[in-house]
Amino acid sequence: MAVRQRRMLANYLEVGETPTFALMGAGFTELNESPSAQTTSKRYINDKSATQSVTGYEWSTAFTTDQIKAQEVIDYICNIGEKQLTGAEAETRYVMVDLDKLAEEATPNVFEARMIKVAIEVSGFGDEDGEMTAEGNLLGNGDIVIGTFATLTQTFTETV
């Protein structure tokens, strides 16, 4: 039984004035998803134990990256923190692509994917032995959208 490799999950962030999806790869040393299920609990009078349910999610992804400004996605993220952008100026779309799950056998380079609107929280700029880093969180803004992602054209299509 093989453990799934991190490289089988490709992450893309929509960047630029004419928005396009850019791969979050080179420079990123950490990109960890946290669904953070929100729950409720109620104990009924005839039960010893509580009844629990999941009521929603407070989704986020923590990131750490080297400041490689030649990487468009890193420059985009650093710009938000450096200029302390807020609101819509700090929001974009984020796609998680399962490279080990082809959408259809007959369609190469189209994979199952999830997309969510995010607010980019840059929490710090660090120094690792003289090399600059950036860290923070992508904060979920709404629900996950299920669909497919074409890696050649870098387009997301929602599953109906």
Say how many residues make up the chain.
Answer: 160
Q: Structure pTM?
A: 0.89
Distance in angstroms (rounded) separating the CA atoms of residues 114 and 57: 15
pLDDT tens for 105-137 read 667 899 999 999 999 999 999 998 899 999 999
pLDDT recorded at residue 59: 95
pLDDT recorded at residue 133: 95
User: Taking Cα atoms as reference points, which of 116, 113, 92 lies closest to residue 102?
Assistant: 113
pLDDT recorded at residue 106: 67
pLDDT tens for 136-150 read 999 999 999 999 999
Q: Residue 77 belongs to what H/E stretch?
A: helix 72-82
Contact in structure between 147 and 115 (CB atoms under 8 Å): yes
Distance in angstroms (rounded) separating the CA atoms of residues 112 and 98: 6
pLDDT recorded at residue 1: 83
Distance in angstroms (rounded) separating the CA atoms of residues 44 and 67: 53
pLDDT tens for 18-69 read 889 999 999 999 999 999 999 999 999 999 999 999 999 999 999 999 999 8
Residue 111 makes CB contacts below 8 A (sequence gap 6+) with 97, 98, 99, 101, 102, 103, 148, 149, 151
CA dist list (Å): 65 to 27, 38, 53, 73: 5, 28, 36, 10
Amino acid in the structure at residue 21 = F
Residue 142 makes CB contacts below 8 A (sequence gap 6+) with 116, 117
pLDDT recorded at residue 66: 95
pLDDT recorded at residue 77: 97
